[in-house]
Structure 1
Amino acid sequence: MKLPSLTRRPRRVSRAVLAPLFAALVLAGCATAPAIDPAALPVAPPAGFKEGDGRWTTAAPAEAQPRGAWWKAFADPALDELVERAGQANNSIQVAAARLAQARALVRAADANRAPQVGLGAGASRGTEAGAGPAATTLLSAGASLSYEVDLVGRLRATSDAASLDARAREALLQSTRLLVQADVAQAYLVLRAVDEERALVRKTVVAYRDTLKLTERRYQAGDVAELDVARVLTQVAATESEALALDRRRAELEHALAVLVGAAASDFQLPMAGWATALPVIPAGVPGTVLARRPDVSAAQSSMLAAQLRVGVAQAAWFPDLTLTATGGHASTELGDLFQWSARAWGVGALLSLPLFDGGRREAGVQNARAELDAALAGYREQVLVAFRDVEDQLSALRLLAEQSEAQSRAVASAARATVLSDSRYRNGLVSQLDLLDAQRSELANRRQALQVRSAQYQATVGLVRALGGGWDIADAQRAPAGVVGAAQARAAGG
């Protein structure tokens, strides 16, 4: 018994060897992935976004384009440093990068199945042979082997293409994770700065209340006011100090969240308090709504759908024959010294055509499973496109309404501040009660805090719009995008 091996191909192959190949080609025909009904794909993008006043339009896919350092538009060095740290040490990004490496390895494995398989081997066996008597013999062998599976119906090619699409989806998900982390860092940092500003406002108000308390105590000692007035001011001071402590707790939580995002231990991470000098960038009108062009999650959903489409064809290919060609060559001998003699040479070629006839419905179940996966991927793709449009519309409407709200709130702050000044003057002159002054101070504090919260919401909506657009808002980059994502998906789906 010899080890199959290979040294060279024979010059001629008999008709008996070629006949199974021709029969397989006749039987197999062409098994391709099914075309997707264009009506099942996402609806065509609208001419413009509802919240854009006709100046925001959709654009073509550009998921491979760089997103740019969009956070630098906020002109905050501390934010720049945090985003850079997160890009290097964030664990979610590292997990997504590892998943991408895994997907690329699977692509290489799928490609390897389409290439010839070559091996070297050597072996030794001892035993008896039928008809040769009871005496045991030793057989030594050494040689090479080659096998190659003929891709009759494109099954191996479809498997490789599906793996490539999976890798493309993983690459898009890595981009999505990076964008998500960048947005999370920016939003957490901006909320923290808003809390810093609010803390400063509340503590300043506490100081003002204490001054009012001192004045009220002096007037109480002079007999001008009752003890009830002192109790009221004491209550206001304590309540405002409690609010300041709540903001301290909120800041600590935000600082800990930032630590996780930048890959640092919360115990070792500290962000000093600073003034809120971050610029509020304005995304210019006329920037294309690149929700389908730059959003990596939409690109990933599309790639997953196309990969599922190809796997339906792979499952259908199980109904057709498999053809494997083999060639062996080497030497075999019962004596080690004669192993590499010319007379010990041996070779062979073969072709194996296999076709299961009955499998209890396994192949049909595989096709049904692949079709169900395609239906799920198609529905997921449609959902992702709809969510993308919703995200852009949400942030556009939020920015528009927040701008109007900020203007109205500014007027409220100015009026409340004027009311406090007038109430304080009239209270010191004994013209109004202490309750009137406290009401005016409370109203001013509430309106100033509300103005800070509206300003913070504007920053959050700006970052949210960047995320919804899939990154930066460079008009030139967006206009260089190729054909639309929905149109491209329709073309590839229809073409199988």
Structure 2
Amino acid sequence: MEMQFRSLGLVGAWLAALVLAGCSVAPAYEAPQADVPMAFKEAADGKWKTAAPAEAAHRGKWWTVFGDPVLDELEERAGQANQNLKAAVARLAQARARLRDAEAGRYPGVTAGAGPTRQRPSPASQGLPADASTDASTLWRAQATVSYEVDLFGRVAASVQAATAQAEQSEALLRSVQLSLQADVAQAYFLVRELDAGQALYAGTVELRERTLALIQRRYDEGDISELDLARARTELASARSEALDIARQRAAAEHALAILLGQAPAGFTLPARPLTRVAVSVPPGLPSALLERRPDIAAAERAMAAANARVGVARTAFFPRLELTGALGYESAQLGDLFNWSSRTFLFGPLVGTMLSLPIFDGGRREAGLQAARAAYEEEVAVYRQTVLNAFKEVEDNLSNLRILADQYRAQDEAVASAARAARLSQIQYREGSVSYLDVIDADRSVLQQRRAATRLDGELARSTVNLIRALGGGWDGPAPTAVLRTDQPS
């Protein structure tokens, strides 16, 4: 009868454990609301739609809209060899391994072992007088041990949820690194091309001033002009040569930076010179809510919140009982030859030491401090998420305004270049006629150079702002891809 009661008690304990296993104390996760505008300030046609998760959507090769085969090749090389991208891939592999480690807690752990134990018990442990003698004995053991934690209040499940969210965060961070790398390569490439255009401009300027100096020298030798005009012509030529060398220095540094992005030593990388042409790419900004769908950094921040929320659940379970089931099955014998006899079999159900069910009572406030820390970490991730969303909107608005204002600035700059070029031609004519001094010619030439250099910088700024807008939008578009227009009719 006593054995029956014990069996019923054991079955009751198992049933109670199974019932309690469904009681999770982890808080339900709901992504907090962020302040999302109805439309972009700099894009009047932007309208609102409900955001749907799409951070895993394939962005495609967005850089191909620029129609530059060299840029296409550089992007492919960077995607294969960049070390920061490889590090992000390794971090994702670590996060996925930690997820598998957390999921292992859902299953029993089984170990097996064999070996001897040599022991001499004390007289007291045998109920003998203190001066009694006891004999040493050897016990051979071969057994398998099984251990399993019953997930009473969702500790294991919450740990798996946290690890899952962390793995998804690492995946989103990988996409963010990838997008940043693609944008950095495009920007570095356009910077090199802008400097190539500057070098071509100064090369033409140096050639022009060399011819001017030869003309001034001849007129000076003939006694038509004073030495002052000759000195001024030499000064302008030397100044143009110095500025050309400064651009060459900047171009070398930009090429080195591009080589690093490609995962290559600068000594082994050379990009042939090719001046930047004016590129106009129409990028549809889409809807403000689309940023919540496509930006990988926003997706990473949201997954960090989910992981922090799950860790709050892990911290809560510390206040509740913990049930760990253990058991062992194997053989024990005093002689090695008798170890695997049927009569040597043995089993154990229950912990070797301690208790099966443990309930924390007092720990000096350690569990409460852990729960408060987990809640504070969650609030931190909420603030980081909302700030990330705000920064995303700012980046889009900044680049939309840049492109809008650059369009007006181009028109004004083209007019300035044309006017400066005409003024330079008129000053040359008037100087040959003797109606103006050579200083007027120098000022007119300087103005042409400055205006053309400003136009070259605008070309580079336009290309970089377009890349920045694509980066800010998450690297892709809804609907037809944007089109690129190469302008070759720049003022001369």
Normalising by structure 2, report the TM-score: 0.89
Change (3 A) 1:370 1:55: closer
Aligned partner of 1:104 in structure 2 is 96
Please tell me whether the aligned partners of residues 279 and 462 of structure 2 are also in contact (alpha carbons under 8 angstroms): no
C-alpha distance in structure 2 between counterparts of 1:23 and 1:167, whole Å: 34
1:394-405 map, 5 Å: 394-405=398-409
Please tell me whether the aligned partners of residues 24 and 152 of structure 2 are also in contact (alpha carbons under 8 angstroms): no
| More relative contact order, 1 or 2 (CA 8 Å, 6+ apart) | 1
Aligned partner of 2:77 in structure 1 is 85
Aligned partner of 2:274 in structure 1 is 274
Please tell me whether the aligned partners of residues 328 and 349 of structure 1 are also in contact (alpha carbons under 8 angstroms): yes
C-alpha distance in structure 2 between counterparts of 1:54 and 1:275, whole Å: 35
Please tell me whether the aligned partners of residues 118 and 138 of structure 2 are also in contact (alpha carbons under 8 angstroms): yes
**1:46 equivalent among 37, 42, 45:** 37
Displacement of 1:375 in angstroms is 1.1
Displacement of 1:23 in angstroms is 7.0
Aligned partner of 2:462 in structure 1 is 458
What is the one-letter code of the residue matched to 1:97? Answer: V
Normalising by structure 1, report the TM-score: 0.88
Aligned partner of 2:490 in structure 1 is none
Residues 253-282 of structure 1 show CA distances to partners (whole Å, capped at 9, x for unaligned) of: 001101110011111111111243585422
C-alpha distance in structure 2 between counterparts of 1:188 and 1:274, whole Å: 14
Residues 226-266 of structure 1 show CA distances to partners (whole Å, capped at 9, x for unaligned) of: 21111112111111111100000000000110111001111
What is the one-letter code of the residue matched to 1:251? Answer: R
Structure 2 SS opposite 1:153: coil
Please tell me whether the aligned partners of residues 56 and 285 of structure 1 are also in contact (alpha carbons under 8 angstroms): no
1:127 lines up with 2:131 in the alignment: no
Please tell me whether the aligned partners of residues 57 and 286 of structure 1 are also in contact (alpha carbons under 8 angstroms): no
Please tell me whether the aligned partners of residues 276 and 460 of structure 2 are also in contact (alpha carbons under 8 angstroms): no
C-alpha distance in structure 2 between counterparts of 1:33 and 1:350, whole Å: 28
Structure 1 SS opposite 2:249: helix
Displacement of 1:12 in angstroms is 11
Change (3 A) 1:287 1:202: farther
Please tell me whether the aligned partners of residues 287 and 473 of structure 1 are also in contact (alpha carbons under 8 angstroms): no
Change (3 A) 1:67 1:123: same
What is the one-letter code of the residue matched to 2:282? Answer: V
Bigger mean CA offset, 24-33 vs 382-391: 24-33
Q: How many residues align?
A: 466
Change (3 A) 1:18 1:119: same
Displacement of 1:63 in angstroms is 0.8
Aligned partner of 1:446 in structure 2 is 450
Please tell me whether the aligned partners of residues 327 and 349 of structure 2 are also in contact (alpha carbons under 8 angstroms): yes
What is the one-letter code of the residue matched to 2:179? Answer: L
1:420 lines up with 2:420 in the alignment: no
Please tell me whether the aligned partners of residues 27 and 320 of structure 1 are also in contact (alpha carbons under 8 angstroms): no
1:33-432 map, 5 Å: 33-34=26-27, 41-43=33-35, 45-55=36-46, 60-129=52-121, 130-131=125-126, 134-277=134-277, 279-284=279-284, 290-350=290-350, 352-432=356-436
Structure 2 SS opposite 1:78: helix
Gapped regions of structure 1 (runs ≥ 5): 1-9, 478-496
Residues 445-487 of structure 1 show CA distances to partners (whole Å, capped at 9, x for unaligned) of: 111110111111110000001100111224279xxxxxxxxxx
Displacement of 1:31 in angstroms is 4.6
What is the one-letter code of the residue matched to 1:248? Answer: A
Residues 274-311 of structure 1 show CA distances to partners (whole Å, capped at 9, x for unaligned) of: 24358542214657773222110000000001110111
What is the one-letter code of the residue matched to 2:171? Answer: E
Give RMSD over aligned pairs.
2.5
C-alpha distance in structure 1 between counterparts of 2:117 and 2:418, whole Å: 99
Change (3 A) 1:49 1:11: farther
C-alpha distance in structure 2 between counterparts of 1:11 and 1:74, whole Å: 82
Gapped regions of structure 2 (runs ≥ 5): 482-492
What is the one-letter code of the residue matched to 2:170? Answer: R
C-alpha distance in structure 2 between counterparts of 1:285 and 1:68, whole Å: 17
Please tell me whether the aligned partners of residues 112 and 143 of structure 2 are also in contact (alpha carbons under 8 angstroms): yes
C-alpha distance in structure 1 between counterparts of 2:279 and 2:320, whole Å: 64
Displacement of 1:423 in angstroms is 1.4
Bigger mean CA offset, 380-389 vs 286-295: 286-295
C-alpha distance in structure 1 between counterparts of 2:278 and 2:84, whole Å: 27
C-alpha distance in structure 1 between counterparts of 2:439 and 2:289, whole Å: 53
What is the one-letter code of the residue matched to 2:447? Answer: S
C-alpha distance in structure 2 between counterparts of 1:410 and 1:305, whole Å: 50
Change (3 A) 1:195 1:283: same
Aligned partner of 2:25 in structure 1 is 32
C-alpha distance in structure 2 between counterparts of 1:104 and 1:336, whole Å: 44
Change (3 A) 1:372 1:285: closer
Displacement of 1:67 in angstroms is 1.1
What is the one-letter code of the residue matched to 2:207? Answer: V
What is the one-letter code of the residue matched to 1:386? Answer: L
Structure 1 SS opposite 2:118: strand
Displacement of 1:91 in angstroms is 0.7
Please tell me whether the aligned partners of residues 315 and 366 of structure 1 are also in contact (alpha carbons under 8 angstroms): yes
C-alpha distance in structure 2 between counterparts of 1:356 and 1:409, whole Å: 75
Displacement of 1:41 in angstroms is 3.5
